[in-house]
Amino acid sequence: MLGAWASAVGVAVTLILSIAAVVGRALTPLASAVAAAFGITIVLVAGFGFLLLLVVFVAVSSLATRYHFEDKARRHVQEGRRGERGVSNVLAHIVLPTAIALGIGFGWVPPVAGAVLFASALAFASADTLASEFGVLTGHAVSILSFRPVIPGTNGGVSTVGEMFALAGSVGTALVGLPLFGAFGEPVGKVWVFLLAVGVAGFLSCQVDSVLGETLENRGILTKGSTNFFGMMSAIGLALAVAALAGAPL
């Protein structure tokens, strides 16, 4: 855990970033307050590397949401009224990373495992967000299960462009997370295992999310938030499986 001065800086930075998220219309005021509470927890118990990786995700997702926002609004597939994300979206993407951070801080999760699993959870979030925000603009999509054409934005619908951005989001998270953790002295274990586990888990869990969306969310069994939550859970499980198959169990 951080010392007193570092903790004060961490809290201040988190609060400033939460205010910036509201000003930049990335989050609603209430969602920003919730994110700040979780963000402060993350930086205090796990460190700056973990907080900054979360900040990178929020920034990238906000930019992706605003890309061709008018086109998305005309098709009624936009996020929020003006691109802002609400409490349910924040909770779906921050509860599990915070739980992992707490596990690291209190010694329940080994540091290397925590770094891999935290990054994998955010790799899913990035993959899912980028796939959705760019995929809906392609004008065509197919069901992930039947491959029949569906309207872009439909739960379970995928496109080539969306899949490419899902891969970019997951691999990008791994590539950004590695130097961020390194800069703050957070151990990640074998570099190639970290990159492989995070990249693969993020991309495959995005597919799990699409399957859940088509089979359960479309039937009203799951909400968008719970679908994202279980998709992120699958990312954690996949990261553990990939690391074990690579001969470096976490």
pLDDT tens digits along 143-194: 999 989 988 878 889 999 999 999 999 999 999 999 999 999 999 999 999 9
Closest Cα to residue 39, out of 63, 65, 11, 64? Answer: 11
Across 23-37, 118-132, 164-178, least confident range: 23-37
pLDDT of residue 239: 97
CB 150 within 8 Å of CB 141: yes
Name the percent of the chain in helix, strand, coil, to the closest 5: 70, 5, 25
- Residue 137: pLDDT band (50, 70, 90) is confident
